[in-house]
Amino acid sequence: MKILVNFKSGFKQTFIVPKGMLTVDFRNMAREIGGNIESIEFSLPSSRQQKSTNSRARLSESVIRMPDKG
């Protein structure tokens, strides 16, 4: 899965993450690379029923805001 991480510094980095990687492990790795995280955007392929007639899968994007660690 491709994940775009937006860091609070303004830096952006795209990661290719294996399915089995735990969210906590990914978050810790991303923080080590770029610092505090502003948001994470990931793309998931749509289900088979939502595919266009030309058989190209559309991607739906989601944005997750990381809570500040308190």
In total, the chain counts a number of residues equal to 70
Residue 28 or residue 47, greater confidence: 28
Q: List the structure tokens of 70.
A: 């308190």
Helix (H) or strand (E) run with residue 40 in it: strand 37-45
The structure's pTM equals 0.61
Residue 17 or residue 67, greater confidence: 17
Domain boundaries, the chain: 2-65
